[in-house]
Amino acid sequence: MLVRVRAALTCGTDVKVFRRGYHARMIVPPALFGHELAGDIVEMGADVRGFKLGQRVVAANSAPCGQCFFCRRGQDNLCEDLLFNNGAYAEYIRIPQRIVEKNMYEVPEHVSYQDAALVEPLACVLRGLEESGVREGDTIAIIGLGPIGMMFVRLAKAVYGARVIAVGRRQPQLDRARKMGADEVVINSEGADALGAVHEITGGHGADVVIEAVGLPEVWQLAIKMLRRGGVVNFFGGCPSGTEIRLDTNLLHYSELTCKASFHHTPALIRKALEIVTRGYVSAKDLVNRVEPLANLLEVMQHLMSHNGHLKTAIIP
Ligand SMILES: [Zn+2]
Ligand SMILES: [Zn+2]
């Protein structure tokens, strides 16, 4: 299928790949770039069923094979043959058959292209929350308040009914997190005692669940320390390859800590994410603060690299 891109959203992963020059699984540069998109169908293969020309659609950036060891166990995000599709920063993008069949949907009329393009990162966030076993009334600390962290804040609060502690480096991020539903905010700037603050808020216990949405080894270690006994930490942010963390074996054992990580999404979660966007729980107006034409892409990437704590930019070809 050929889709005319109407909105492509920048993502921390794009910025990471742009800076580091590699990604463990999603893309091997040099390659077409961009993976969060919505647009209109302009061409279709003869055998495509269930779609029509001109339809507004959102396509995920991957599709699992459905046959391998991992797919058969319902871990399709770990599929041995996960087919990735990049190239959303363009006027047109080709969507391969497998994604058309498994991970592509019509965008409901009242949902904007930018809102629809949020479905992919949102599905990753949903996986993080589901895998961490967040329950209503749980206290969840979310470290890192980029767009992904903000989605965690919103969903943990609005969909899961958790009590949310947002931990970030800058005051404007904390203010934004409050607007997204955070019950408590904690600054983690140089010299601030974020760990002490989280323990104080939780009556000395620590949080039931901690999400690390930064992707730095030292923050992974901070995340572990913010847990209560029996708590679950989710290392959501991918660190540079070759890095390691140290674990206090006694803390891990006697406090019965669970360390999890979540990667990517599944077709079921893409569907769920579209439902959440359709119901208005998550909206581009909270997460996209800049709109640029395709011709400005390089400048947009450079800007995102030099500014932490940015939101998303919508690239409109
Ligand atoms: Zn992304
Ligand atoms: Zn598979």
Average pLDDT over residues 61-83: 96
Ligand closest to Cα of 83 equals 2
Average pLDDT over residues 51-59: 98
Does 306 score more than 80 pLDDT? yes
Q: Which residue has the higher pLDDT, 317 or 29?
A: 317
Does 43 score more than 90 pLDDT? yes
pLDDT at position 23, please? 78
Q: Which residue has the higher pLDDT, 6 or 305?
A: 6
Rounding to the nearest 10 degrees, give the CA dihedral for residues 291, 29, 265, 131: -110
Cα 36 to middle of ligand 1, angstroms: 6
Amino acid in position 179: K
Q: Please give the Cα distance from 93 to 90 (Å, whole number).
A: 7
- Length in residues, the chain: 317
Ligand closest to Cα of 238 equals 1
**CATH architecture classification, 2-122+264-316:** Alpha-Beta Complex (3.90)
Q: Assign domain 133-260 to a CATH class.
A: alpha beta
Ligand closest to Cα of 125 equals 1
Cα 151 to middle of ligand 1, angstroms: 12
Confidence grade of residue 117 (pLDDT, cut at 50, 70, 90): very high
Helix (H, G, I), strand (E, B) or coil at 197: helix
pLDDT at position 309, please? 62
Cα 121 to middle of ligand 1, angstroms: 5
Give me the long-range contacts of 78-82 (CB less than 8 A, separation at least 24): 78/263, 82/25, 82/264
Cα 49 to middle of ligand 2, angstroms: 23
The domain locations on the chain are 2-122+264-316, 133-260
Cα 6 to middle of ligand 1, angstroms: 17
Cα 67 to middle of ligand 2, angstroms: 5
Q: Are 213 and 237 in contact (CB under 8 A)?
A: yes
Burial of 238 (0-12, 13-18, 19+ CB in 10 A): middle
Residues, beta carbon < 5 Å, ion ligand 2: 64-65, 68, 71, 79
Q: pLDDT of 163-175, one tens digit each?
A: 999 999 999 999 9
Confidence grade of residue 84 (pLDDT, cut at 50, 70, 90): very high
pLDDT at position 20, please? 81
pLDDT at position 310, please? 77
Ligand closest to Cα of 76 equals 2
pLDDT > 70 in the chain, percent = 99
Model pTM score: 0.95
